[in-house]
C-alpha cells in the first residue's frame, strides 16, 4: 500500500465548496503516484450555497460532508473521525468552500478563523511531521494557522498582501509550478487563481505531487 493522503473537501462546486477540476486533477496526480486517498470533510453546514448556473446565492442549506461525498463517490468520513494513523499527508483542493467553510477568509479577511477540526488536523500533521498541500485559495488556511509559512496563491496582489498580513510569506508563482516550504513541509500551487483551464490546473497538480513526494 502507498502512503495515505487525507483529502479535505468543503462541499462540491467552485462557488461554495471544493473546486471540482482542482480536486480531480489532484486526485489523478496522487493516484498515478501511488497514494491512497482518504476523503474527509467537516460534518457542518456550508457557510454559503450558490446556484452555479446563475452565480446567485441560495437559501437552501447544504452539508459540506454530504456534498463532498459527490466528489468522493460516497467513500468519505467525517473529519472528526479521522485519526493520526489514517493518513501520512494532508491535501486541500481549492474552491471558495475552503475560504467560506474551512475558514472564514472570504468574509473576515485577515481576521478570519479556521474551522476547529481543520485547525486540529493541521496542528496534528505538523506535530507528526506530515506534509500539507494546498491549492488555489486554500493556502490562506495555512497562512492563518502556520506562522512564517512560505506559500503561494499565484500573484493576486490583494490576497498576497493578506497572506503576508497574517504572518505568512507569499511567493509569486506561475500556474504550472508550486512553492515548497521545506522547513514546514508545505506545498502550494496557484491552480485556478491563475489557470485558464483544467490542463493548466493539472500541470500544477502534477508538480505539486512530485514535490510532496520529496518531503517524506
Q: What is the pLDDT of residues 81-97, one digit of tens each?
A: 999 999 999 999 999 99
**Can you say whether the dihedral through the CA atoms of 187, 192, 3, 63 is positive or negative?**
positive
pLDDT at 7 over 80: yes
How is residue 75 written as a grid cell? 467513500
Confidence of residue 1 (pLDDT cuts 50, 70, 90): low
Closest to 121 in 3D by CA, of 104, 146, 100: 146
Three-class SS of residue 4? strand
Distances (CA, A) of 85 to 26, 46, 68, 82, 140: 22, 27, 22, 8, 26
> Rounded to whole angstroms, how far apart are CA atoms 52 and 104?
20
How is residue 190 written as a grid cell? 496557484
Closest to 63 in 3D by CA, of 92, 78, 43, 93: 43
Three-class SS of residue 39? strand
Check: CB of residue 155 under 8 Å from CB of residue 194: yes
Q: Which of 12, 103, 112, 136 is catalytic?
A: 136
> Rounded to whole angstroms, how far apart are CA atoms 149 and 98?
18
Closest to 205 in 3D by CA, of 35, 3, 10: 35
Q: Is 174 exposed, middle or buried (0-12, 13-18, 19+ CB in 10 A)?
A: middle
Q: How many other β-carbons are positioned within 10 Å of the β-carbon of residue 110?
A: 15
Residue 39: give the domain boundaries.
4-213
pTM of the predicted model as reported, rounded to 2 decimal places:
0.96
- Catalytic annotation present for 173: no
Check: CB of residue 154 under 8 Å from CB of residue 193: yes
Q: How many other β-carbons are positioned within 10 Å of the β-carbon of residue 33?
A: 15
Domain total in the chain:
1
Q: What is the CATH number of the domain that holds 138?
A: 3.40.50.880
Confidence of residue 196 (pLDDT cuts 50, 70, 90): very high
* pLDDT tens-digit readout, 46-63: 999 999 999 899 999 999
* pLDDT tens-digit readout, 144-195: 999 999 999 999 999 999 999 999 999 999 999 999 999 999 999 999 999 9
> Rounded to whole angstroms, how far apart are CA atoms 20 and 199?
13
Amino acid at each position: 500500500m502507498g502512503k495515505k493522503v487525507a483529502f479535505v473537501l468543503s462541499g462540491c462546486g467552485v462557488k461554495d465548496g471544493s473546486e471540482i477540476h482542482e480536486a480531480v486533477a489532484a486526485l489523478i496526480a496522487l493516484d498515478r503516484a501511488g497514494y491512497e486517498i482518504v476523503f474527509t470533510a467537516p460534518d457542518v453546514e456550508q457557510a454559503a450555497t450558490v446556484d452555479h448556473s446563475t452565480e446567485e446565492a441560495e437559501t437552501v442549506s447544504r452539508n459540506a460532508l454530504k456534498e463532498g461525498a459527490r466528489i468522493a463517490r460516497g467513500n468519505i468520513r467525517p473529519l472528526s473521525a479521522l485519526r493520526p494513523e489514517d493518513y501520512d499527508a494532508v491535501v486541500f483542493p481549492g474552491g471558495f468552500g475552503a475560504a467560506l467553510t474551512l475558514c472564514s477568509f472570504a468574509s473576515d479577511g485577515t481576521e478570519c478563523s479556521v474551522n476547529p477540526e481543520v485547525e486540529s488536523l493541521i496542528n496534528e500533521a505538523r506535530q507528526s511531521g506530515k506534509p500539507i498541500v494546498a491549492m488555489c485559495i486554500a493556502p490562506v488556511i495555512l497562512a492563518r494557522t502556520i506562522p512564517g509559512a512560505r506559500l503561494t496563491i499565484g500573484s493576486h496582489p490583494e490576497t498576497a498582501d493578506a497572506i503576508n498580513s497574517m504572518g505568512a510569506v507569499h511567493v509569486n508563482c506561475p500556474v504550472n509550478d508550486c512553492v515548497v516550504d521545506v522547513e514546514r513541509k508545505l506545498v502550494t500551487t496557484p491552480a485556478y487563481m491563475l489557470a485558464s483551464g483544467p490542463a493548466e490546473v493539472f500541470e500544477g497538480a502534477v508538480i505539486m505531487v512530485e514535490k510532496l513526494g520529496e518531503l517524506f
